[in-house]
Amino acid sequence: MPCDYQTIKEKVENVLLKEKGSRFIGYLYQVENEGEIKKRLDDIYALHPKATHHCYAYRLGLNGGNYRANDDGEPSGTAGLPIYNQLLSVGVTNVLLIIVRYFGGTKLGTGGLVKTYRESAQLVLEQAEIITKELTELYQLEFDYSHQAQVTMLIKKLNLEIKFSEFTDKCRLTLIVPMRKKEDFFEKFDSLFAQNFVIQNKVS
Domain boundaries, position 141: 135-203
Q: Is residue 68 located within the same domain as residue 14?
A: yes
Picking from 132, 158, 190, the residue at the C-terminal end of a domain is 132
Q: Is residue 112 located within the same domain as residue 140?
A: no
Q: Is residue 89 located within the same domain as residue 154?
A: no
Q: Is residue 69 located within the same domain as residue 114?
A: yes
Q: Is residue 70 located within the same domain as residue 140?
A: no
Picking from 132, 148, 182, the residue at the C-terminal end of a domain is 132
**Domain CATH code at residue 181:** 3.30.70.240
Picking from 98, 132, 166, the residue at the C-terminal end of a domain is 132
Per DSSP (E only), the strands in the chain are: 4-8, 12-19, 22-30, 53-60, 66-70, 95-102, 130-134, 136-143, 161-167, 171-178, 197-203
- SS3 category, 160: coil
What is the tally of structural domains in the chain? 2
Q: Is residue 192 located within the same domain as residue 146?
A: yes
Digit-by-digit pLDDT tens for the chain (204 residues) are 667 899 999 999 999 999 999 999 999 999 989 999 999 999 999 999 999 999 999 999 888 889 999 999 999 999 999 999 999 999 999 999 999 999 999 999 999 999 999 999 999 999 999 999 888 888 888 888 888 898 999 999 999 999 889 999 888 889 888 888 888 888 887 766 654 455 555 443
Which residues lie closer than 8 Å to 183 by C-beta, 6 or more apart?
none
**Domain CATH code at residue 15:** 3.30.230.30
Q: Is residue 84 located within the same domain as residue 24?
A: yes
pLDDT at residue number 99: 98
Q: Is residue 42 located within the same domain as residue 115?
A: yes
Q: Is residue 128 located within the same domain as residue 152?
A: no
What is the rounded CA–CA span in Å between residue 92 and residue 79? 19
pLDDT at residue number 170: 87
Q: Is residue 154 located within the same domain as residue 58?
A: no
